[in-house]
Amino acid sequence: MNKLLIFIVFIGIILFIYNTSKPNPNSLENQPILDDIDLRVMAQVNNGKLNVWTFCQDEDYNFKMNWRYPQLSYNYRYPFQKLCTDTMLKNIDNHDINFIIVTRKNAHLYVPHFPSRLKHSGYEEKKVIDLLGAYLLELYGGLWLSPYTVCLNRDYRGLFQDCRNHEMVTFGTSPNITNSDPFNGTFTAVNNKIIGAQKGCSCIVSYKNLLEQFIFAKQHEYLYNHVGNDPEPLGEAIGYTKPIHKHYCCKSDGSYNINDRKIHIDAFLGKMPLQFKEPTSMLFVSVPYEELDTDTNYRWILNTPTDELLTSNISIVETIKSLL
pLDDT for res 109 = 87
Does 7 map to a domain?
no
154, amino acid identity: R
Dist CA 29 CA 27 (whole Å): 5
pLDDT score for 16: 56
Residue span of the structural domain in which 140 resides: 35-323
Show the CA angle centred on residue 177, arms to residues 176 and 181, nearest 5°. Answer: 145
Does residue 8 fall inside a structural domain?
A: no
In a domain, 98, yes or no: yes
Q: Which amino acid is at 55?
A: F
Residue 69 lies in a domain: yes
Domain membership flag for residue 5: no
**pLDDT the model gives residue 70:** 43
User: Which spans in the chain are helix H?
Assistant: 2-21, 39-45, 79-91, 107-110, 125-140, 157-165, 202-215, 219-224, 233-241, 265-268, 290-294, 300-303, 306-310, 315-323
pLDDT for res 77: 74
Residue 5's pLDDT is 61
Domain count, the chain: 1
What's residue 31's pLDDT? 29
- pTM (two decimals): 0.80
User: What is the reported pLDDT for 136?
Assistant: 96
136-148: b (≥16 Cβ within 10 Å) or e: bbbbbbbbbbbbb
Q: Please indicate, yes or no, if residue 25 is contained in any of the structural domains.
A: no
Does residue 144 lie within any of the structural domains?
yes
Give the dihedral sign, CA 255/260/261/267: negative
Residue 18, in any domain of the structure:
no
**pLDDT beneath 70, residues of the chain:** 1-38, 58-76, 94-95, 116-122, 174-188, 217-231
Residue 1: predicted pLDDT: 56
Q: Are 233 and 189 in contact (CB under 8 A)?
A: no
